[in-house]
Chain A
Amino acid sequence: SAVISQKPSRDICQRGTSLTIQCQVDSQVTMMFWYRQQPGQSLTLIATANQGSEATYESGFVIDKFPISRPNLTFSTLTVSNMSPEDSSIYLCSVDLSGVYNEQFFGPGTRLTVL
């Protein structure tokens, strides 16, 4: 398994501002993932971040709105830019440790409220 931390755990932001969410893993991982979970909804993959390359975004998500950095094998950031109330969600990072079941391990999430 892995210990994954996210900062901040929650935040309340004003419309039009940006927030950067950090994800730290206690071991080196190749792939990190960012998900969005809107209120009462399931998880939707935003992008996959590999160290040393551009993030791969899923349909409906663009780099200008959700820029991602992956400077090393234990750290990644997701920025939510020019926020609107529709961006109010839980944002989760996860890692693929290629363990026994190839399950993904998730961070505790960042609860974002945009006013």
Chain B
Amino acid sequence: AQKITQTQPGMFVQEKEAVTLDCTYDTSDPSYGLFWYKQPSSGEMIFLIYQGSYDQQNATEGRYSLNFQKARKSANLVISASQLGDSAMYFCAMREDNYGQNFVFGPGTRLSVLP
């Protein structure tokens, strides 16, 4: 079974608008971390934001915030005030602290910011 699901293969957003990228996950490990990475066309992977399974508050990093709904096993990324440079692939990933500690990546969402 897929451990990380990203149901939006592609998304469009108008510049300066906010956008939400969906991520749902599946694990039985009570201790895990959720990560979002950005991959521009250059291919590098850029770490954006982290949410731990025991964190009480939603993570925020500048224009990025994570809408963490533990009971629903979702960790959606919210990008506020989109910029043209936000156009990229976005990957949700999970690390299970007790099950090997390897990263598992979702299929990704391609975000296009329109001027």
Contact = CB atoms under 8 A, between A and B. Distances in A.
Contact of B95 (A44, A58, A102): A102
B33 A102 contact: yes
Given A48-B102, A103-B50, A105-B47, 7 more contacts: A42-B108, A92-B45, A101-B50, A102-B95, A104-B47, A106-B37, A109-B43
Contacts, number: 45
**Most B CB within 10 A of own CB, among A33, A45, A94, A102:** A102
B45 A103 contact: no
Interface of B: 33, 35, 37, 42-45, 47, 50, 52, 91, 95, 102-103, 105-108
A111 B105 contact: no
B91 A42 contact: yes
B43 A90 contact: yes
A41 interface: yes
A67 interface: no
A43 interface: yes
Contacts of A103: 35, 47, 50
**Most A CB within 10 A of own CB, among B91, B103, B106:** B103
- The 8 A-B pairs at the shortest CB distance, nearest first, are namely A101-B50, A106-B45, A109-B43, A43-B105, A42-B105, A103-B47, A42-B107, A108-B44
